[in-house]
Structure 1
Amino acid sequence: MPSIEVKGMSCNHCVMNVTKTLAALPGITNVAVDLATGLATFDAAALDPKAVREAIAKIGFEPGEVK
């Protein structure tokens, strides 16, 4: 299961925003974002790490590397 660290989240609204953003990307399903660890995990039928990082940055958070 791929994951990405998301820096800058401070509340559940942030979690919902990241969840919604990742779920809107093609091929990504079952998004789970943990505020305490700052980690977003998801299933990916097709994974474009660059698109994932760009989507996170576009909504104002600092993305880590997709693992």
Structure 2
Amino acid sequence: MTQLSERTYTVTGMTCGHCELSVQEEVEELAGVTTAHADRTTGTLTVTGTDLDDAAIRAAVAQAGYETGSA
């Protein structure tokens, strides 16, 4: 049985709801991702899923136009 895990990343540059949605949509398209929640107020992205791929998550955030770090 594969267990869900949760990871949190810092995301720089999000300033509005559209920014949050862009990040969430890019990350939620990745294999294994169940949910992604971006919060511009805290500058974080929380990702829940199975077999999460850090490089793929960071690449998806970059594709949305933002940079990530570890929270």
TM-score interval for Structure 1 and Structure 2 normalised by the shorter chain: 0.7 to 0.9
**1:49 and 2:59 aligned:** no
SS in 1 for 2:42: coil
The aligned residue for residue 66 of structure 2 is 61
Bigger shift: residues 55-64 or 5-14:
55-64
Q: TM-score, normalised by structure 1?
A: 0.88
SS in 1 for 2:41: coil
If you compute each CA radius of gyration, which structure gives the higher value, 1 or 2? 2
**1:10 and 2:15 aligned:** yes
**1:32 and 2:37 aligned:** yes
Cα distance in 1 between the residues matched to 2:64 and 2:23: 8
Cα offsets for 1:1-36 (capped at 9, x unmatched): 211111010100000001101110110112211110
Structure 2 alignment gaps of length 5 or more: 1-5
Identical-pair percentage: 35
SS in 1 for 2:14: coil
Structure 1 alignment gaps of length 5 or more: none
Cα offsets for 1:32-58 (capped at 9, x unmatched): 111100111121201110111111112
